[in-house]
Amino acid sequence: MEDRIFEIENGVGEQLTETRLRFKTNRSVPDLPDDMFGGGQILTFAMDCLTDFSIRRDNGDGSLDANINVNFRHPLYRGDTVESINWLIREGRRSRVYGFALYKTIAYDKEDGSYKVCNPPILVCDGESTTVVKKVRDEQEKKF
């Protein structure tokens, strides 16, 4: 067996302007009939990905969500695979405005237990989130 070296993009810092995370929804428990996720659960997926983006961009600060605008476009079911795309729209001294879109890339058909690749991917939700990050430590120490 040959040794493989994988290149994993794992960016951090101000140069990071976009992230993508893909995950399967199997382990989550849907709160609606027919294994469908409610809007709050779908939004939780998107916000978890934005928190990851904020941690990478702002040196470990997961930020605080101050405002979220979301549009739900298509249902999401247990077993589906989704990809969250997040990007920076605007950056202030302590605030960030991020855009996000959650796409279904693989759909699970519970009737026959099969999976179908969604080509093109199906937009589940999109929107914007305004977050607030902590003050830089040097600014906090100047007060004392």
- Give the Cα-Cα-Cα angle 10, 15, 21 (nearest 5 degrees): 40
Beta pairing partners, 131: 65, 96
User: Is the pTM here over 0.85, yes or no?
Assistant: no
In a domain, 13, yes or no: no
Per-residue confidence band for 75, with pLDDT thresholds at 50, 70 and 90? very high
The CATH number that applies at residue 68 is 3.10.129.10
Which residues constitute the domain of residue 66? 18-142
Per-residue confidence band for 27, with pLDDT thresholds at 50, 70 and 90? low
In a domain, 112, yes or no: yes
Length of the chain as a residue count: 144
Number of domain units in the chain: 1
How far apart CA 144 and CA 142 sit, in angstroms, is 6
**Does the pLDDT of residue 134 top 90, yes or no?**
no
In a domain, 12, yes or no: no
In a domain, 68, yes or no: yes
In a domain, 127, yes or no: yes
